[in-house]
Amino acid sequence: MRRIQTLQIADWDIRPPAAESAVLATDLEQGCVLYLPQLKFALDAEEQRWLDPNRADPKAKNISYDAATDAVAGVIGDDVGRESLRRLLARYRAQAIGLIERLLPAYVDRLRIARTSLRPVSVEGRATSWRKDDTRLHIDAFPSRPNGGERILRVFHNANPDGAARVWRIGEPFEELARRFLPEITPPVPGVAWLLETLHITKSRRSRYDHIMLQLHDRMKADAEYQQKVSQVTVPFAANSTWICFSDQASHAAMSGQHLLEQTLHLPVEALYDPERSPLRILERLTHRVLV
């Protein structure tokens, strides 16, 4: 499996032939990161003012935009000047969605669009718990937002105005890490998923799949020896570059960088070119049971 595939694309309106789209989807669905070093998202002078970590609310992980309400959250201060931030995030949202729809047209009718975010704070030196430390290799799984196997597709852009790269480590294939950690995973405690949903700690009922994915996430991050010794590559994503991956499948860690734009999209397993490559189907095959 290729950990990263570099594409010489400089136009957000790219429309590859169907056969090429199928190849790109095959790479993505195996956990590969698609890297587009020439695909720049330009910011005007007013928008660049938001590339300032002092404008981000330290209580929030990032600045976010919800298209459903047309509202921005995670910003310190009053609403003065926020229109340029809203415009920036709405424009990135449209560009990222359009890119996926044109690169991977088979996904179009099944995409569910989540929030858009800006992360102006530097990765280095951020005080956090080991569980929230994204400088450790992990796959994405969210404690409060169970997804029942739905894929997490993300479009990232390094908007750093000073030319600094955003450096990732990319780890081993999903099936290999699943085989490594599955023997350590304990079964869910009966009734806990119902209680978490009833108390609105989770937004929906946590499935056995969600339980396993959360434990994989945590056990990867907690294992210091694994973090150091597992097969991995370091990739610097240049300033003004874009990259795409299924972040629930591609093992990754953000080691350095600042000023990241990110768009999350969700996709049901059955909408994939090959559902058998999904984490859900891999885990069901390894555990010999239905997980959702």
Q: Give the residue extent of every domain in the chain.
A: 4-287
**Beta carbons of 246 and 257 less than 8 angstroms apart:** no
d(CA 149, CA 60): 26
CA distances from 285 to 179, 243, 278, 290 (A): 11, 30, 11, 9
Please give the sequence-ordered ranges of beta strands (E in DSSP) within 129-257, or none if there are none. Answer: 151-158, 166-170, 233-237, 242-246, 252-256
**Beta carbons of 16 and 46 less than 8 angstroms apart:** no
Token couple for 183: 């023997």
CA distances from 179 to 23, 138, 174 (A): 26, 15, 9
d(CA 100, CA 114): 14
For residue 158, what are the β-bridge partners?
260
**Beta carbons of 62 and 55 less than 8 angstroms apart:** no
Angle between helices 174-181 and 279-287 (to 10 degrees): 40
Angle between helices 279-287 and 208-222 (to 10 degrees): 90
Fold of 4-287: Jelly Rolls (2.60.120)
**Beta carbons of 240 and 40 less than 8 angstroms apart:** yes
pTM of the model: 0.95
Taking only the tens of pLDDT, the chain with its 292 residues reads 789 999 999 999 999 999 999 999 999 999 999 999 999 999 998 899 899 998 888 888 789 999 999 999 999 876 667 889 999 999 999 999 999 999 999 999 999 999 999 999 999 877 678 888 999 999 999 999 999 999 999 999 999 999 999 999 999 999 999 999 999 999 999 999 999 999 999 999 999 999 999 999 999 999 999 999 999 999 999 999 999 999 999 999 999 999 999 999 999 999 999 999 999 999 999 999 999 9
